[in-house]
């Protein structure tokens, strides 16, 4: 360890390095993977959780930095070590701030050992670091260090420790050795001479390291300040003479040394003086601890020294994990998996619950662990069943069900701390997959709870001594603290992080059928759809809302008819003409996911969202069907469509199946002599005056001649009945006609001023082509039930001629207020996308994403968002008031104290560094000692210390 000359020979503080742990790198990898997934699938809530995890990663680094600055550690060698047994090095770890988790590590050759310790705030903890000592000789530690971790174990701050002096490893004594030979020294007998022993006092000598403290003359040391050791002697006749030649019967030199070590140990325990003779080494007669250790050291260093064996790391069987943290981890995982029970097969839910419950029960009772083969069979069977159910394993429903199954099986085979941490990371990934199914407030609340529990589970496994029942509670508090500190950074990234417009790759995420408009129209389709209260989309208008009669939301166009159903076709030919007129209507649709490529628009859209186009049938279509709630901005204007229409399309829209509904053909043939507009009015008059009724439960129509059966028989139907019959009559009368599907109307939410269009508002109407007018919308349902246009579906079913909707009930008004909150959530959280981001940045004057002002403002806000982490990472302040004032002195001088440096020693070093202020520094140190250890009143001594510190110039 280096020494700083400015510190007066005091060891310089070792440098610290901050680096992520393996778990931290895995955590960062999870953040990257989830971020890529959020970009690809436009998961706004996924962005929020991902950025929260990123903020936690940064805040954890700040906590690790603070712990690294607060830690002080020393590593001391044991008094002695014996070959074949671990050398018990003593580590003392002190926390100068909050409680911290640390690991003391050291290596011998290529092998490293470590011991974990939990240090309470402001305390010192002593632990033993066992280091292998396989052979005799000199043992030198390599790179001893202390690593301090954040509460989750994502980061570590590593500080190098001073390397202890090399340790002499004594030979392992022989077990049950024979007694040493009864050899006597030349001067034998009480009267002829004496030698070193432990019977009678013979004098004082200078202290030698290794002498027993019981032999030190402490009275003389207190008087003179010099350590002296008492010497004793004994009759020479009791002295043992140990010689290398006495072990000649053993061939192995190590065995001979082992026997001599055993004899030395026997003499040491009995207090018998002895002499030791080795080839080239002779120790005179002596006794006591010092003499015995010198003899053992001579045996340890006898050449040649044996080579240390290559240590093979044997894979020990995994120890049982502590029950309390494992149960807490399983609880967090169960919370993360819970929403899957609402959509996955029942057998998957039961299997997951059973596996997690059995694993938790094993922490309390001695139950057998499930064999790996059995888990593999269950996994294979689950894969086969899911593939049989969904026909794929890559889709949203199949993929998430398979993930839940595999995570539960991983929990069953959890054996080590590494497995438990991996389980928590997998749980975080599971939480993010729920955003494929919804991003509402309840989903967000579940995600927040699940992520906090899983972060706490990581914290449980990062804490030494986590078998304590209080460990989950402490980990929960630490995870909540990190999350709160991460919120500013997460919010900033959520608002400013660029949102790409398109996905990075295409992968199916829509497995289950969604309620919505179909690819074809047959009798009964829209009647069943109209019974759904689910929201199809919401529409926000930049200006006044259009009147109810103009709220036709155009969707798919059906032009091919086979007698049973109307389907979409692509008619080749030149593009039809569009002549717009009238004012522009600007609005934004928040479309619920439906998996269909068509978009809904009023009138004729003149400005389409990116990635959308207008077909030859004037239908807005997107290249990327929405798989999640998506916002689309439109501008529409009234227009004359298809004034110049291709003859191929017009002829196609006159085609009828041969022999179908002859009575309807005969009726329409009577109108062929009328002008085209009059033919339309004649058909509407027939419906208006024909005693037709509007109902959601019409009678079943036959497979053949169903138009005749409806017009001249049942006369009861829904919108698809009237649109299909009217289009048939128009084609039979020689007027090109087609059916348009979409939605009609929408409920105004007074709390938000927007329209709520539900699936029950699904509607079909007819378009006819008239010379000089082009395609004209005709809604035959309005002739039978005018309330369907002016008042909405519920009113039309009970009062077909009403002109206003039924008054809202208190319960319905409460539902509208709740929907208003839902719409705001969709707009600013779940639906926050690139267009929303650009609009927000423009409104606050930041400019475009990536511009100079954007980068400048983003950089400033980023620094502000990092303030909580920067405050955490500061050097912790001592808890004692006097110690805090001494810390103020070190900050004023910009000269920190060295680890373990006393205040007096620091004052001397600081005075040498700043001679002009030596007197003021000395006075401040004296005032500190009085305030900290003196008998004066605390308040008065602290005031004097504060004044002395202030007299030291900065």
Given this model, what pLDDT does residue 338 score? Answer: 96
Specify whether the CB–CB gap between 581 and 646 falls below 8 A: no
Give me the phi and psi of 450, to 5 degrees please.
-65, -45
pLDDT band at 879 (very low <50, low <70, confident <90, very high): low
Name the token pair of 59: 């805040």
Given this model, what pLDDT does residue 650 score? Answer: 94
More confident residue, 880 or 711: 711
Q: Is the pLDDT of residue 637 over 90?
A: yes
Q: Is the pLDDT of residue 419 over 80?
A: yes
Q: What is the mean pLDDT of residues 598-625?
A: 89
Q: Is the pLDDT of residue 180 over 70?
A: yes
Q: Is the pLDDT of residue 517 over 90?
A: no
User: CA Rg, the chain, in Å?
Assistant: 44
More confident residue, 386 or 467: 386
- pTM comes to 0.77
pLDDT band at 502 (very low <50, low <70, confident <90, very high): low
More confident residue, 230 or 713: 713
Given this model, what pLDDT does residue 801 score? Answer: 77
Contacts of 793 (CB under 8 A, 6+ apart): 530, 745, 760, 761
Given this model, what pLDDT does residue 843 score? Answer: 86
Specify whether the CB–CB gap between 414 and 31 falls below 8 A: no
Does the CA dihedral 259-260-266-268 come out positive or negative? Answer: negative
Given this model, what pLDDT does residue 148 score? Answer: 93
Give me the phi and psi of 704, to 5 degrees please.
-105, 145
Q: What is the mean pLDDT of residues 597-619?
A: 90
Specify whether the CB–CB gap between 733 and 769 falls below 8 A: no
Residues 545-601 pLDDT 10s: 999 889 999 999 999 999 989 999 988 778 889 999 989 999 999 888 887 888 999
- What is the per-residue DSSP string for 914-950? -GGGHHHHHHHHHHHHHHHHSSS-HHHHHHHHHHHHH
Give me the phi and psi of 310, to 5 degrees please.
-70, 120
Given this model, what pLDDT does residue 646 score? Answer: 92
Where do the structural domains in the chain lie, given as residue ranges?
A: 5-163, 194-300, 323-487, 520-811, 877-950
Contacts of 22 (CB under 8 A, 6+ apart): none
CA atoms of 833 and 849, how far apart (whole Å): 13
Contacts of 51 (CB under 8 A, 6+ apart): 489, 490, 491, 493, 494, 497
Q: What is the mean pLDDT of residues 727-735?
A: 96
Specify whether the CB–CB gap between 411 and 333 falls below 8 A: yes
What class has domain 5-163?
mainly beta
Select from 799, 719, 399, 688 the least CA-distant residue to 527: 719
Residues 346-376 pLDDT 10s: 999 999 999 999 999 998 888 888 898 999 9
Select from 507, 506, 529, 531 the least CA-distant residue to 516: 529
Residues 219-254 pLDDT 10s: 776 677 677 777 776 555 557 889 999 898 888 999
Length of the chain as a residue count: 954
Q: Is the pLDDT of residue 193 over 70?
A: no
More confident residue, 459 or 186: 459
DSSP 809: P
Given this model, what pLDDT does residue 191 score? Answer: 42
Q: What is the mean pLDDT of residues 258-277?
A: 90
Question: Among all residues, which ones are annotated catalytic?
Answer: 719, 763, 779
More confident residue, 460 or 318: 460
Q: What is the mean pLDDT of residues 840-851?
A: 85
Given this model, what pLDDT does residue 20 score? Answer: 94
Residues 300-358 pLDDT 10s: 999 998 887 766 555 555 566 788 899 999 999 999 999 999 999 999 999 999 999 99
Q: Which residues pair with 677 in a beta bridge?
A: none
Select from 410, 416, 414 the least CA-distant residue to 319: 416
Q: Which residues pair with 764 in a beta bridge?
A: 741
Q: What is the mean pLDDT of residues 712-731?
A: 94
CA atoms of 118 and 123, how far apart (whole Å): 10
pLDDT band at 265 (very low <50, low <70, confident <90, very high): very high
* Three-class secondary structure of residue 579 per DSSP: strand
Q: Tokens 């927040």 appear where?
A: 448
Q: What is the mean pLDDT of residues 890-910?
A: 80
Burial tier of 366 (Cβ tally within 10 Å: 0-12, 13-18, 19+): exposed
Mean of pLDDT over the chain: 85
Written in H, E and C, the secondary structure of 214-253 is: HHECHHHHHHHCCCEEEEEEEEHHHCEEEEHHHHCCCCCH
Q: What percent of the chain has pLDDT over 90?
A: 46
Q: What is the mean pLDDT of residues 897-919?
A: 83
Residues 379-405 pLDDT 10s: 999 999 999 998 888 888 999 999 999
Specify whether the CB–CB gap between 932 and 944 falls below 8 A: no
872 HSE (CA, 13 A, CB side): 22
Does the CA dihedral 839-842-846-847 come out positive or negative? Answer: positive
Given this model, what pLDDT does residue 391 score? Answer: 86
Name the token pair of 647: 């003859």
Given this model, what pLDDT does residue 683 score? Answer: 96
Q: What is the mean pLDDT of residues 719-735?
A: 95
């Amino acid at each position: 360890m280096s020494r700083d000359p400015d510190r007066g020979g005091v060891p310089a503080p070792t440098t610290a390095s901050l680096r992520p742990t393996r778990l931290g790198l895995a955590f960062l990898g999870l953040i990257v993977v989830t971020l890529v997934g959020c970009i690809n699938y436009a998961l706004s809530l996924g962005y929020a959780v991902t950025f929260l995890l990123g903020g936690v990663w940064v805040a954890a680094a700040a906590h690790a930095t603070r712990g690294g600055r607060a830690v002080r550690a020393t590593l001391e060698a044991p008094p002695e070590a014996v070959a074949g047994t671990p050398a018990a090095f003593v580590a003392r770890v002190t926390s100068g701030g909050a409680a911290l988790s640390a690991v003391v590590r050291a290596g011998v050759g290529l092998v490293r050992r470590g011991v974990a310790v939990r240090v309470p705030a402001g305390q010192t903890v002593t632990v033993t670091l066992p280091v292998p000592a396989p052979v005799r000789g000199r043992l030198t530690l390599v790179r001893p260090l202390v690593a301090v971790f954040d509460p989750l174990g994502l980061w570590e701050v590593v500080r190098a420790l001073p390397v202890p002096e090399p340790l002499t490893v004594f030979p392992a004594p022989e077990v049950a050795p024979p007694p040493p030979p009864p050899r006597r020294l030349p001067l034998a007998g009480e009267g002829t001479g004496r030698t070193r022993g432990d019977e009678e006092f013979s004098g004082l000598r200078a202290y030698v390291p290794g002498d027993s403290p019981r032999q030190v003359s402490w009275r003389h040391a207190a008087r003179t300040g010099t350590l002296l050791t008492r010497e004793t002697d004994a009759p020479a006749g009791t002295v043992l003479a140990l010689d290398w030649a006495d072990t000649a019967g053993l061939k192995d030199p190590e065995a001979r040394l082992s026997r001599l070590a055993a004899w030395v140990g026997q003499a040491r325990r009995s207090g018998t003086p002895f002499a030791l003779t080795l080839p080239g080494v002779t120790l005179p007669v002596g006794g006591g601890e010092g003499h015995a250790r010198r003899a053992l050291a001579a045996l340890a260093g006898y050449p040649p020294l044996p080579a240390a064996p290559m240590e093979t790391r044997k894979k020990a069987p995994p120890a049982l994990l502590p029950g309390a943290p494992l149960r807490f981890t399983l609880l967090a995982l169960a919370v993360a998996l819970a929403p899957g029970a609402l959509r996955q097969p029942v057998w998957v839910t039961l299997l997951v619950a059973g596996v997690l419950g059995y694993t938790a029960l094993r922490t309390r009772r001695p139950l057998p662990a499930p064999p790996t083969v059995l888990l593999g069979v269950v996994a294979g069977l689950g894969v086969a069943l899911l593939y049989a159910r969904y026909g794929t394993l890559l889709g949203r429903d199949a993929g998430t069900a398979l993930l839940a199954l595999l995570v539960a099986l991983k929990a069953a085979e959890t054996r080590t701390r590494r497995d438990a941490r991996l389980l928590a990371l997998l749980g975080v990934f599971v939480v993010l997959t729920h955003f494929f199914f919804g991003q509402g407030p309840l989903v967000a609340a579940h995600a927040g709870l699940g992520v906090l529990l899983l972060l706490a589970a990581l914290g449980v496994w990062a804490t030494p001594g986590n078998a304590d029942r209080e460990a989950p509670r402490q980990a929960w508090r630490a995870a909540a603290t990190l999350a709160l500190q991460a919120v500013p950074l997460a919010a900033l990234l959520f608002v400013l992080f660029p949102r790409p417009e398109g996905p990075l790759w295409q992968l199916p995420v829509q497995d289950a059928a969604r309620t919505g408009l179909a690819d074809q129209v047959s009798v009964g389709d829209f009647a069943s759809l109209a019974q759904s209260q689910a929201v199809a989309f919401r529409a926000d208008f930049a200006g006044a809302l259009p009147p109810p009669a103009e709220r036709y939301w155009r969707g798919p166009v059906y032009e091919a008819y086979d007698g049973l159903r109307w389907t979409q076709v692509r008619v080749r030919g030149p593009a039809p003409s569009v002549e717009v007129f009238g004012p522009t209507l600007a609005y934004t649709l928040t479309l619920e996911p439906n998996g269909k490529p068509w978009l809904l628009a009023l009138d004729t859209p003149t400005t389409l969202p990116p990635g959308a186009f207008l077909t030859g049938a004037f239908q807005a279509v997107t290249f990327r069907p929405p798989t999640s709630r998506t916002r689309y901005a439109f501008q529409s204007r009234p227009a004359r469509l298809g004034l110049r229409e291709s003859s191929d399309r017009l002829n196609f829209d006159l085609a009828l199946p041969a022999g179908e509904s002859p009575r309807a053909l005969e009726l329409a043939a009577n109108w062929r002599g009328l002008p085209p507009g009059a033919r339309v009015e004649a058909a509407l008059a027939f419906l208006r005056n024909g005693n037709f009724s509007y109902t959601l439960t019409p009678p079943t129509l036959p497979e053949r001649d169903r138009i005749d059966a409806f017009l001249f028989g049942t006369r009861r139907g829904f919108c698809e009945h009237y649109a299909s019959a009217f289009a048939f009559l128009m084609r039979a009368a020689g007027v090109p006609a087609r059916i348009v599907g979409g939605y009609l109307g929408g409920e105004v939410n007074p709390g938000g001023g927007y329209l709520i269009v539900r699936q029950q508002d699904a509607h079909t109407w007819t378009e006819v082509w008239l010379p000089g007018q082009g395609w004209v919308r005709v809604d035959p349902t309005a002739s039978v039930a005018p309330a369907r246009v002016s008042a909405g579906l519920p009113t039309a079913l009970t009062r077909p001629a009403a002109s206003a909707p039924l008054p809202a009930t208190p319960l319905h008004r409460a539902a509208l207020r709740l929907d208003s909150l839902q719409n705001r959530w969709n707009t600013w959280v779940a639906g926050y996308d690139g267009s929303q981001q650009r609009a927000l940045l423009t409104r606050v004057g930041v400019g475009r994403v990536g511009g100079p002002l954007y980068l400048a403002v983003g950089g400033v806000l980023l620094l502000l968002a990092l303030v909580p982490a920067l405050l955490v990472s500061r050097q912790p302040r001592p808890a004692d008031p006097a110690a805090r004032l001494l810390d103020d002195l070190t900050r004023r001088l910009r000269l920190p104290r060295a680890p373990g440096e006393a205040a007096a020693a620091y004052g001397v070093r600081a005075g040498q560094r700043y001679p002009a202020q030596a007197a003021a520094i000395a006075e401040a140190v004296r005032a500190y000692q009085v305030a900290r250890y003196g008998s004066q009143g605390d308040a008065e001594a602290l005031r004097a210390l504060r004044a002395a510190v202030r007299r030291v110039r900065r």
